[in-house]
Amino acid sequence: MQLEICLDSLDSVRAAAEAGAHRIELCAALVEGGLTPSLGTLKQAREIFSGEIVMMIRPRRGDFVYSECEITAMAHDIDAAREHGADAVVFGCLRPDGTIDENACAPLLAACGELPAVFHRAFDVCHDLRTSLETLIALGFVRVLTSGGEPTAVEGVEMLEELVAQADGRIQILPGGGITADNAASILNATGAGQLHLTGRRDLESPMIFRRPEIPMGAGAVPGEYDLQTADPELIRHLLDSL
């Protein structure tokens, strides 16, 4: 049984190492579903954790439909991951119709070279999971992280079992989403997947004594995956003109 811990801080990396986790998925901003961590974070994580490090390649929050410029940036991040100690990378690219975007995945897989590629939970919002699984196998992904197309792996356990059977050893199925010590064994037994993905997190208080809670450093709430935000050139030009 392989246990993968999804995390977004070096303190969490250290905790995973101390607890004996087999593998970590190294991210930034888990509250936004996980983004590409900094190069410094990867290098320090490699110093701390001797097990397998799977690095998230996701340049922004929101959906999984990426521009050509974003795909190029992701390829550069894969180069950095390979050069600085990652054992695998995880990413996912979709078309607007909910199918796997093979054209977007191709240059990223090429950038991987011999570095294994994992497809993340973008899989769970695909139009057809069974067809999408065959696409991932054909593309050469080694593993797919999935909750069986449901909000949690508990709710998607029947589909997870079906996906493991369909995969038949051609690709690894990694159940994830809402997994805890209370349900982990039952999910393993039901699916036969042989591995699990979870955060294992608990809440901690900040060590800050002097606080200014009325001054936020970010949004008060995280927008949904389909609510995208981007800089507007007209607004920027208007500001420049006003100055």
- The predicted model gives 24-29 an average pLDDT of 97
pLDDT band (50, 70, 90) for residue 84: very high
Query: Any idea what DSSP says for residue 178?
Result: S
pLDDT value, residue 17: 97
pLDDT band (50, 70, 90) for residue 229: confident
- The predicted model gives 150-165 an average pLDDT of 98
Give domain 2-201+225-242's CATH number out of 3.30.160.20, 3.20.20.380, 3.40.50.620, 1.10.3720.10: 3.20.20.380
The tens digit of pLDDT for each residue in 171-228 reads 999 999 999 999 999 999 999 999 999 999 888 899 999 999 888 887 767 778 888 8
pLDDT band (50, 70, 90) for residue 75: very high
Domain ranges for the chain: 2-201+225-242
| CA atoms within 13 A of residue 81's CA, in its CB half-sphere | 32
Nearest to 27 by CA among 70, 4, 57: 57
pLDDT value, residue 20: 95
The tens digit of pLDDT for each residue in 110-138 reads 999 999 999 999 999 999 999 999 999 99
- The predicted model gives 9-38 an average pLDDT of 96
pLDDT value, residue 191: 97
Q: Distance of CA 204 to CAs 12, 34, 155, 222, Å? A: 12, 19, 28, 20
112 SS3 class: helix
Residue with tokens 């410094």: 40
- Strands 172-175 and 117-119 come out as unpaired
Residues 170 and 230: their CA atoms lie apart, in Å, by: 39
- The predicted model gives 21-43 an average pLDDT of 96
pLDDT higher at 71 or 220: 71
- Percentage, residues of the chain above pLDDT 90: 86
pLDDT value, residue 239: 87
Residues 80 and 66: their CA atoms lie apart, in Å, by: 20
Direct distance between the N- and C-terminal alpha carbons of the chain, in angstroms, rounded to an integer: 61
3-state helix, strand, coil in the chain (%, to 5): 40, 15, 45
- Strands 23-26 and 2-7 come out as parallel
pLDDT value, residue 219: 72
Nearest to 225 by CA among 112, 125, 118: 125
